Every structure is written in C-alpha cells, then in structure tokens.
Amino acid sequence: MDDAATKRETELADHYRHCEAALREQELDLWLASLFAPASARPHLHAIGAFAAEIASVRARVSQPILGEMRLRWWYDSLEAATDSEAARAHPIADALIDTLDRHAIAREEVVDLLEAHSFDLYDEPMESLEALETYCDRVFGAPMRWRAIAIDAQDASRQEGALRDAGRALGLTTILRALPRHLAQGQRFLPVDVLARHRADGDFAETEAAPAIAGALAELRGKARDYFDKARRAVRGDGPARAALLPAALIPLYLGEMERKGFDPFRSIAEPAQWRRQWRLWRAARGRGI
C-alpha cells in the first residue's frame, strides 16, 4: 500500500471515529443500539446516524429558513460531486457517509429524499395530513433504519423490509411526539391538520390550556405509533444480523408509556425513561425477546 492510500485510510478512520463521538453525544439510544451490531458494521451505522442527527438539527442552528436551505444545498452538492470531492472529504460526517453509501450500494437518491423531507423543518407551515406525516417518517426515520440494515447484511435487510418500514414509522411518530415542546418553541407544526380537525382542535398551541382540545389528536398519534410498532414486531423474519437495525424501535413502548403517565404535560415535558431502563430494553430485544 502506497503512502497516499495509507494516509487516506487513516483519514477515513478518523472521520468514522468522529461520527461515533457525534452520535454518542446527540443520539445516545442509537449509539447504544449499535453496540449490538457486528463490529465490522458499526462505523457505517455511526456514519448514517451522525448524518441523520446533523440534518435533523439544522432548524435549531439557523436563524432564517434561507440559511437552512443553504446548509441542505451543501449536502445536495456533496452527494452529487465526485467521490473525491475536496469539500466532502474535509467534512468528517460527509466523508464517512459517502464512503458508507458507496461500500454498501445505498442509493444517493434516497439520501436526497431525506434532505428534501427536512425542508419542511425550516418553515412554520402545518403538516397537511397524517399521510404526509407518515411519508415524512418514511424518509427521515425509516430510510436511515433501512440503510443501517443494509450496512449490516443487505440480503437479510431485504427479508426485513416490512418490519423496517413499519418500525421506521413507529419510531418517527414517537420521536415527533417526544419533541413536541421543542418543535412548538421553534414554531414548527408537525401535528397533522386532518388529525387536529378530527378532534376539533385548531392547532393554536400558544397556551398549555389548549391541551385538552388536542388530547384526542395526540392520543390518535400515539395509537398509530403503537399500531406500527406491533405490525413491525409481527413482520420480523428470523433472527438474522440485520435485525440489529430494528433495535432502536424496541424503546418505543417505553417512550409512549412515559407520555401516557398521569400528569405528563406534552407541551412542557420530554418523555425520558431512565437510561438503565433503555439499556435493559435494548439488551432484552437483542437477546431475541422482541424488538
């Protein structure tokens, strides 16, 4: 191996380590779940997770939508550029992600779909419908889960396609419900218009006194999350290695349970089960006792 190749391997290894550190800091559940995946796949899981977390945080890190669009545009351009793009190589997460996409033949078009879905985050427009929200979950939560399964074992990932789809929707709905206070503080409106209308709620969340008016809408979304989680559990095929990509979904019942506790305020509280409970649940799921 020549000096240039050795230098490149060292650089890439550093970038994967950067992704692991970023994931552990920003998405501890996902990092913990990756510990149960084959060691050879973990760097790629870290790269995918760090990328998803990076894009999800764009809204919180910009003062105007146009600045967020510019950040997303940079990612579009990096994905469209040649593999050896200097700009992408200089960005640890982009470099590791592109290497992962190339090694595992993950379509860049799917990454573009995720970026396009996150454009919704930048504006204060309401989510039009439950169907639109489910599509958002497919692209933002389901797709990275499927990429992680492919990075572990592409053949087994294809067998788990149904479980991955339903688990992605369940995880997406649960994550959005957990983040409701933060979204409201930022002006984001993820609760679908048609769901609010069914429960005669107008979407005015300025005061927590509005909580009773939308309790039915929140309960409906929690019910949807549970339904998708149950469908995912039934859809799991065997105990192949790609099943490790489903492990983050094992925490869904814990988070939903926290949201359903007496006295929980969805406008002010973040559902956060104790870390030991989350770790135990992941371990139990990894041992083959459900997801």
Residue 202: burial class (beta carbons within 10 Å; 0-12, 13-18, 19+): exposed
Residues 6+ apart with CB under 8 A from 168: 137, 138, 141, 142, 143, 145, 146
Q: Quick one: pLDDT at residue 205?
A: 54
**Which whole number is the average pLDDT over 208-230?**
85
For 146-201, the pLDDT digits (tens) are 999 999 999 999 999 999 999 999 999 999 999 999 998 888 999 999 998 888 76
- Of 225, 183, 223, nearest in space to 59 by CA: 183
Q: Which one-letter DSSP state was computed for residue 141? A: I
The answer to whether residue 219 scores a pLDDT higher than 60 is yes
What is the pLDDT confidence band of residue 207, given thresholds at 50, 70 and 90? very low
Q: Which two tokens stand for residue 254?
A: 């814990």
Q: Which two tokens stand for residue 207?
A: 């005061």
Residue 269, CA distances (Å) to 190, 226, 243, 275 in order: 17, 20, 31, 17
Q: Rounded to whole angstroms, how far apart are CA atoms 33 and 50?
A: 14
**Which whole number is the average pLDDT over 216-237?**
95
Neighbours of 112 (CB within 10 A): 16
- Of 61, 59, 220, 68, nearest in space to 133 by CA: 220
What percentage of the chain carries pLDDT values higher than 90?
A: 78
Q: Rounded to whole angstroms, how far apart are CA atoms 213 and 215?
A: 6
Contact 105, 127 (CB under 8 A): no
What is the pLDDT confidence band of residue 3, given thresholds at 50, 70 and 90? confident
Q: Which CATH architecture has domain 125-291?
A: Orthogonal Bundle (1.10)
Q: Rounded to whole angstroms, how far apart are CA atoms 200 and 241?
A: 45
The answer to whether residue 2 scores a pLDDT higher than 90 is no
Q: Which two tokens stand for residue 198?
A: 């069914």
Q: Quick one: pLDDT at residue 177?
A: 96
Q: Quick one: pLDDT at residue 278?
A: 95
Q: Quick one: pLDDT at residue 202?
A: 59
What is the pLDDT confidence band of residue 119, given thresholds at 50, 70 and 90? very high
Cα angle 58, 259, 186 (rounded to 5 degrees) comes to 25
**Which whole number is the average pLDDT over 274-291?**
90
Lowest mean pLDDT among 32-36, 158-162, 164-168, 265-269: 265-269
* Average pLDDT score, the chain: 92
Q: What is the torsional sign of CA 233, 22, 279, 184?
A: negative
**Which whole number is the average pLDDT over 124-148?**
97
Helices (H) and strands (E) in the chain, counts: 17, 0
- Of 80, 75, 67, nearest in space to 121 by CA: 67
Q: Quick one: pLDDT at residue 65?
A: 96
Q: Quick one: pLDDT at residue 84?
A: 59
Residue 103: burial class (beta carbons within 10 Å; 0-12, 13-18, 19+): exposed
pTM: predicted TM-score of the whole model, two decimal places: 0.93
Lowest mean pLDDT among 31-35, 127-131, 180-184, 254-258: 180-184
What are the domain boundaries of the chain? 1-123, 125-291
Contact 112, 155 (CB under 8 A): no
For 66-92, the pLDDT digits (tens) are 999 999 999 999 998 755 567 678 899
Q: Quick one: pLDDT at residue 72?
A: 97
**Which whole number is the average pLDDT over 265-273?**
86
